[in-house]
Structure 1
């Protein structure tokens, strides 16, 4: 049925694109919520193993998935399967979103568009584009306006254990955010809706940069005072960047903002935190990346964030310091000394929104008023 006709207890046909940790855990959650779920993977061996054993040989290896979930791939599903879906859930890395949407676009029925939900967090390296802009480029403004985003403090291994979890759900079309919330909402998984997907995306991307800083501090031997100081100042900094970008400052106080920042900056489970911790212990970045075993998005996002900071002309000393360590060979101890030697500053300050900044430009591209998001 079309998303506009969904009700809280309706079951849906859901195609999850991406069989990594997060895509798999959300497929598990939705399958356990009595939705019909298909899970797409690029790996034929992963698909075959999943369908035979109801386990993912690559991620969450000890977890047994509902037998009702069907793995498909390695080719992207054809138009026949796509047209049956009520929900398309994109859980692929941001760098793969443009290619995937370009292939899928001709297979979408624009007259009966499924609910499009995106859970990736990142900034496209070549363009500095957030996912909403990528959607607009590949599928058009009408599709981008109804796209929905989910973000928040949500480690996959805890979701599959049904640990109480809450997330933010946002769309430029509030009805779509509400529908997505209805699809996901369960007693163990609460959803809160909002109207600032761009701010939510930005928060989800840049918090990975700050997780590296937090890991560095831990690796250098600093303790609780330092962690609390650092997370609080990172929140202030990302709010300042987001406000200059044109997002709502309130977004950074949400689950997708401070919630995700706190989780990522305080847990060794975070890949980005792990990168920072190993840097703090004296390892070289190239060796860390080579042996990490998975992608740490914050390493590449640091480059994109540096360009955003420069373009906006906003002060962001922590993010700038992370860039200096990763890409300019700055010494960690000297970097810490420089940060702590900055002159006293007002604690709470927000820049002017630069007449809406990049957000206003994107809203104009979509044919929407800038104020509609706030």
Structure 2
């Protein structure tokens, strides 16, 4: 598919990408191909040396030759001098390790004059049930969190690498920062749309993985299109209710980070979370699936955080509850489906009134009285 030879954009930026997995690597390549100078950090010394010699990632996206504008470094974290003149820090670090990572990186950061901070991880911290916005607040401070940007949407890494047209949501409590991040990334094949609801965007990116496991289980049990459509739609309803109680805008879930990412993850066999569900539905045991999957399926851990949140906020989310029961209580997928099908009829969508304790805690830390909702 032809694209315009030239597109409007910002001047060349100095970008550090923390994380060399599938998504971090593909975004580093996209930014390098967009003529930015990119430095990709990896905790694996062998990956760093191999990448700089061959322009290939030996662990992920192995068949791709990366832009020569991308250079790898690590496993040591950069010092303050190395980061002083960088324009963008992009974090593609798994959510469960992000708090520790930011704590280690903080001595190298000038929190009074930070580069543009962009986060692309998805998930809820298991030990605290915190979103990334709260983890940033705890580690770098409220001002850093309010200036941070978050990117999410239907965006498989291998398709980005092949320049398949892709669109994402870019959200921040600062419109200026959201626009700056969008300008850095935006190309005809990678279109960015800005918003001011990072809480909703984060929750959408985390929650959709739980419902992708449900969709996979349905397919693994032999159910077909009607059932998948039902699960996606009812999953979207549950996600919207959970997020509204958390303090997000329900409108966020009508966008790319919500229904867009949910549809992609629930309907593609290349989705890791869908694959976990599919194999569970076919009768495999979770430990065997995890040991042979080859990469992290965030929905497995996120289901624990979601379970706690919906219990404390008293949200009716039967699909999320049943996914948890299969993943962490040893129930079978077939029994979970039967329990769902035997539920009585109910209203299709009833949004909670007011924000729950998690939103209130986060907003107090940020010094914000009310969550911004579009």
Structure-1-length-normalised TM-score: 0.96
Q: Which residue of 1 aligns with 2:348?
A: 347
**Helix, strand or coil at the partner of 1:339:** helix
How far the C-alpha of 1:359 sits from its partner, in A, is: 1.9
Q: Which residue of 1 aligns with 2:370?
A: 370
**Helix, strand or coil at the partner of 2:194:** strand
Instruction: Tell me how far apart the structure 2 counterparts of residues 371 and 41 of structure 1 sit (CA, whole Å).
Output: 35
Instruction: Tell me how far apart the structure 1 counterparts of residues 292 and 256 of structure 2 sit (CA, whole Å).
Output: 31
**Helix, strand or coil at the partner of 2:372:** helix
How far the C-alpha of 1:357 sits from its partner, in A, is: 4.1
Q: Which residue of 2 aligns with 1:231?
A: 232
How far the C-alpha of 1:342 sits from its partner, in A, is: 1.0
Structure-2-length-normalised TM-score: 0.96
Answering whether residue 52 of structure 2 is matched by residue 51 of structure 1, we say yes
Give the alignment of 1:69-80 within 5 angstroms: 69-80=70-81
Instruction: Tell me how far apart the structure 2 counterparts of residues 229 and 372 of structure 1 sit (CA, whole Å).
Output: 31
Q: 1:215·1:280 contact (CA, 8 Å) conserved in 2?
A: yes
Residues matched between the structures, number: 367
* Structure 2 unpaired stretches of 5+: 1-7
Q: Which residue of 2 aligns with 1:94?
A: 95
Instruction: Tell me how far apart the structure 1 counterparts of residues 255 and 22 of structure 2 sit (CA, whole Å).
Output: 23
Q: 2:36·2:69 contact (CA, 8 Å) conserved in 1?
A: no
Answering whether residue 142 of structure 2 is matched by residue 141 of structure 1, we say yes
Instruction: Tell me how far apart the structure 2 counterparts of residues 281 and 331 of structure 1 sit (CA, whole Å).
Output: 10
Instruction: Tell me how far apart the structure 2 counterparts of residues 243 and 25 of structure 1 sit (CA, whole Å).
Output: 32
**Helix, strand or coil at the partner of 1:372:** coil
Q: 1:198·1:247 contact (CA, 8 Å) conserved in 2?
A: yes
Q: Which residue of 2 aligns with 1:3?
A: none
Instruction: Tell me how far apart the structure 1 counterparts of residues 362 and 302 of structure 2 sit (CA, whole Å).
Output: 20
* Structure 1 unpaired stretches of 5+: 1-6
**Helix, strand or coil at the partner of 2:20:** coil
Q: 2:154·2:261 contact (CA, 8 Å) conserved in 1?
A: yes
Instruction: Tell me how far apart the structure 2 counterparts of residues 184 and 286 of structure 1 sit (CA, whole Å).
Output: 38
Give the alignment of 1:56-67 within 5 angstroms: 56-67=57-68
Instruction: Tell me how far apart the structure 2 counterparts of residues 282 and 372 of structure 1 sit (CA, whole Å).
Output: 44
Q: 1:199·1:247 contact (CA, 8 Å) conserved in 2?
A: yes
Q: Which residue of 1 aligns with 2:287?
A: 286
**Helix, strand or coil at the partner of 2:61:** coil
Q: Which residue of 1 aligns with 2:296?
A: 295
1:177-225 superposed Cα distances (whole Å, 9 cap, x missing partner): 0000000000110000011101111111111111110000000011111
Give the alignment of 1:1-374 within 5 angstroms: 8-354=9-355, 357-374=357-374
Q: 1:49·1:55 contact (CA, 8 Å) conserved in 2?
A: yes
**Helix, strand or coil at the partner of 1:19:** coil
**Helix, strand or coil at the partner of 2:154:** coil
**Helix, strand or coil at the partner of 2:336:** helix
Instruction: Tell me how far apart the structure 1 counterparts of residues 216 and 334 of structure 2 sit (CA, whole Å).
Output: 14
Q: 2:197·2:372 contact (CA, 8 Å) conserved in 1?
A: no
**Helix, strand or coil at the partner of 1:112:** coil
1:159-181 superposed Cα distances (whole Å, 9 cap, x missing partner): 01000000000011111000000
**Helix, strand or coil at the partner of 1:14:** strand
1:83-103 superposed Cα distances (whole Å, 9 cap, x missing partner): 121000000101121111112
Cα 1:204–1:120 shift into 2, 3 Å = same
Instruction: Tell me how far apart the structure 2 counterparts of residues 98 and 286 of structure 1 sit (CA, whole Å).
Output: 26
How far the C-alpha of 1:361 sits from its partner, in A, is: 2.6
Q: Which residue of 1 aligns with 2:5?
A: none
Instruction: Tell me how far apart the structure 2 counterparts of residues 214 and 269 of structure 1 sit (CA, whole Å).
Output: 13
Instruction: Tell me how far apart the structure 2 counterparts of residues 372 and 94 of structure 1 sit (CA, whole Å).
Output: 23
Runs (4 or more) in structure 1 with deviation over 4 Å come to none
1:56-80 superposed Cα distances (whole Å, 9 cap, x missing partner): 0000000000112110001111111
Q: 1:364·1:370 contact (CA, 8 Å) conserved in 2?
A: no
